[in-house]
Structure 1
Amino acid sequence: MVGSITPSPAGLDLVHALRANCERPFEDARSMPPEVYTSEAFLALERRDVFRREWLCLGRASALAKHGDYLTGTIDDQPVVVLRDAGGELRAFSNVCLHRMSVLLEGRGNVRRIVCPYHAWNYTLDGSLAGAPLMDRQAGFCKDQYKLPAVRCETWQGWVYVTLNDKAPPVHAHLADLTQLIEPYGMTDYVETFYEEHVWDTNWKILAENFMESYHLPMLHRATVGPHSKLEEMECPPGLPAFNYHWITKEASLPIGNAHPDNTRLKDHWRRTTALLAIYPNHLITLTPGYFWYLILQPRGVDRVHIRFGGGLAPEFIDDPKAGEYMATLKALLDDVNAEDRRGVEAVFRGVHAPLAKPGHLSHLERPNYDFARYLAQRVASD
């Protein structure tokens, strides 16, 4: 169940340029061609071959704890709602009314029924049409013929994923290698304590790449986390088909950065190790022994990216009497870090338009960026 877009010659030329760039060994790797970030034709291929075919994260299942709790998102141009139904199950549907095609729900919240804001057609939590004002006067109308189209929805490690691709393997199989890597953290039980949405003026891939490497920390974040970031402490192993990652093992500057004394899951150096995970195409997670934060990216054209930004604490810190204090300190720090990142990635987006811009060599700490580029090169125009 994926849309069709005919690749343009300009888009295919960029695919060939990206693939040629990715054929270099990592020791001679370069950043992606600047047009990959600025081309509408390339974005059209990303939409067709990546966003309409992959599993996309929409948020944490813990945000949908009660019957009727819902969150909304999009799969490319398809609005989607995920909700907890009356039986306690998670379901996902097209978030578009079956009458005159208005979007039904916005943001997050709780509902007893899904009510269209346009003409008040309303649906139960299983997607069935429950009511349609005055439509009984139309002889050809039968409400039993209407039900919101279902969308594939699965959970992994406490995250809600959706896809329009009926042939995609189950998300737990898709991310099995990552589960094995991070299982001791117990991320499923981490509790989200804040959530926001933002739009920045940059290409979605520039922000994704910014998250994937810590090479920039000492400079871009020199007023916040930079002084605590030692590049020699970072490990950047080769990525896998569905994700890339890197590790930082250190004594954290925040108490919640290391494992809580009551944490019996993590042993030895893992009690001090932070994992930075980039799940393709657009789900980015910083996972520490005590807290997590994440970004979920959605392109809004080549020049803007919609960001879902959230985070929270490991269960031991949720139960700690100082949980509120810890979370307030973390959120204040992350807000400052995000402001620095925004300046950085918006400056890069201005730079990739420059006539003299060209790809430079990647550092050994930018291995995840190399793997991300190869992922895109393999996915776009793959038919």
Structure 2
Amino acid sequence: MAKDHIDPIEELRQNTSVPFEQARAMPPSVYTTDAFMQAELEHIFSKDWYCVGRASALPNSGDYLTCELAGQPIAVIRDKAGDLRAMSNVCLHRMSTLLHGRGNTRSIVCPYHAWTYNLDGSLRGAPAMTLNEGFCKDSYKLPQIRCEEWLGWVFVTLNPDAPPVAEQLKQVEEMVAGYDMTNYTEAFYEEHVWDTNWKVLAENFMESYHLPVCHAGTIGGLSKLEDMICPPGLPAFNYHTILKDDSLRIAMAHKNNTRLKGEERRTTFLLAIYPSLLITLTPGYFWYLSLHPVSPGKVHIRFGGGMSDDYKDDADAQQNFTDLKTLLDEVNVEDRGCTEKVYRGLCSAMSAPGHLSHLERPNYDFAQYLNARISPGAAA
């Protein structure tokens, strides 16, 4: 493991102080130390927007999902007015967590003493409280947390001063306007914990340099290094693109899609929205990972995806989805193997970061983002 005397924040500062043409991978201490993870929780996950999934997964009043963000249990729920709202998922009585997983409920009932809250977080009722002279039901309401929708994605933040999601991601919206990302419907959702650092998995997504090797059994043959374009990143995100051919038809624009022209119709965007929303967006389907650290060596993964609504009326739509999910499961097996091997290597006393390929430009930009958030005095 990394040596205790190493200051990972200073190591990252030094690592990111060189231009991209001279850049190396981030130092092992950035991935393996508790000190760096605590800094991430304080300066990144407590401050930036975190994606909990797709709005299409919560279509009805009472639909909810839960997450933990920088130690704060959160529930996101569609209220009776049809709006999504986020709130503390901790009872105001003896502080049990309230909702768990995903589901639908008419009210929020504490599993410990049955204090019951309305879908807006106000307290509806509390058994056996009439003899407490200080108790007033109307004074109890679950603390509300900022929640915003953007192109069908649902974000929450603990930071009351974070700029709006749409403001931060305006350039993303302009780049992928022809994909109409709002109208991609989530068809599957899973949660996993892998034995690797969250940044290892994020960086694995950010570069397609590994595709021909790590994914030789699945999508490697569809991914030509010469067709990968890795522009410089922007403050809130980085991205790269890959051209695909019609050997994977559902990655192509549907015949009814007149929004995309020329090579756009076969262009896949790989969007890394900081800190940890990773989206593969093709004209026909999407899938995503939303990551949160559990420990230096464990990452919690929210994994989902589905098809563009352009495909929904096709006779073979269900078969297309089945084929897609089978492919993504196989890709995940390959990615898990690769990223867990990387973390084991990072923990070695002999590990040392090598120079980056031009195809790893997004990784360099990610390191710059981390340094700007965590290093004292770094430019924001």
TM-score by shorter chain over 0.5: yes
Paired residues of 2:6 and 2:29 also in contact (CA < 8 A): no
Structure 1 residue 318: Cα displacement: 1.6
Structure 1 residue 320: Cα displacement: 1.3
| Structure 1 position 64 matched with structure 2 position 58 | yes
Structure 1 residue 75: Cα displacement: 1.3
Aligned CA distance change for structure 1 residues 11 and 324 (closer, same or farther; 3 Å): farther
Alignment match, 1:213: 207
Structure 1 residue 264: Cα displacement: 1.6
| Structure 1 position 290 matched with structure 2 position 284 | yes
Q: Matches of residues 321-336 of structure 1 in structure 2 within 5 Å?
A: 321-336=315-330
Give, in whole Å, the separation in 1 of the partners of 2:290 and 2:311: 24
Structure 1 residue 250: Cα displacement: 2.7
Select which of 63, 80, 94 maps to 2:74: 80
Paired residues of 1:49 and 1:381 also in contact (CA < 8 A): no
Select which of 355, 358, 377 maps to 2:371: 377
Alignment match, 1:279: 273
Q: Aligned pair count?
A: 375
Alignment match, 2:156: 162
Q: Matches of residues 290-329 of structure 1 in structure 2 within 5 Å?
A: 290-329=284-323
Structure 1 residue 316: Cα displacement: 1.2
| Sequence identity (%) | 61
Q: Secondary structure at the match of 2:11?
A: helix
Structure 1 residue 15: Cα displacement: 1.3
Structure 1 residue 382: Cα displacement: 3.7
Give, in whole Å, the separation in 1 of the partners of 2:182 and 2:28: 38
| Structure 1 position 343 matched with structure 2 position 299 | no
Paired residues of 1:11 and 1:42 also in contact (CA < 8 A): no
Give, in whole Å, the separation in 1 of the partners of 2:139 and 2:246: 57
Give, in whole Å, the separation in 1 of the partners of 2:375 and 2:243: 39
Paired residues of 1:11 and 1:39 also in contact (CA < 8 A): no
Paired residues of 1:191 and 1:318 also in contact (CA < 8 A): no
| Structure 1 position 171 matched with structure 2 position 165 | yes
Paired residues of 1:81 and 1:105 also in contact (CA < 8 A): yes
Structure 1 residue 12: Cα displacement: 8.6
Alpha-carbon RMSD across the aligned residues, in angstroms, is 1.3
Give, in whole Å, the separation in 1 of the partners of 2:246 and 2:362: 23
Q: Secondary structure at the match of 1:373?
A: helix
Measured against aligned partners, the alpha-carbon deviations of 1:227-266 in whole angstroms (never above 9, x if no partner) come to 2211000000000000000011231432110001111221
Aligned CA distance change for structure 1 residues 121 and 309 (closer, same or farther; 3 Å): same
Paired residues of 1:212 and 1:368 also in contact (CA < 8 A): yes
Give ranges in structure 2 of 5+ residues lacking alignment: none
Measured against aligned partners, the alpha-carbon deviations of 1:155-182 in whole angstroms (never above 9, x if no partner) come to 1110000001111111110111111111
Alignment match, 1:53: 47
Give, in whole Å, the separation in 1 of the partners of 2:247 and 2:70: 39
Alignment match, 2:21: 27
Structure 1 residue 285: Cα displacement: 0.2
| Structure 1 position 44 matched with structure 2 position 38 | yes
Q: Secondary structure at the match of 1:331?
A: helix
* Stretches (4+) displaced over 2 A: 10-13
Paired residues of 2:223 and 2:244 also in contact (CA < 8 A): no
Measured against aligned partners, the alpha-carbon deviations of 1:58-82 in whole angstroms (never above 9, x if no partner) come to 0001111101111111211001111
Structure 1 residue 223: Cα displacement: 0.9
Alignment match, 1:150: 144
TM-score (norm 2): 0.97
Give ranges in structure 1 of 5+ residues lacking alignment: 1-9
TM-score (norm 1): 0.96
Give, in whole Å, the separation in 2 of the partners of 1:42 and 1:92: 28
Select which of 89, 111, 127 maps to 2:83: 89
Give, in whole Å, the separation in 2 of the partners of 1:156 and 1:80: 19
Give, in whole Å, the separation in 2 of the partners of 1:243 and 1:175: 8
Alignment match, 1:193: 187
Q: Which amino acid aligns with 1:49?
A: H
Paired residues of 1:113 and 1:123 also in contact (CA < 8 A): yes
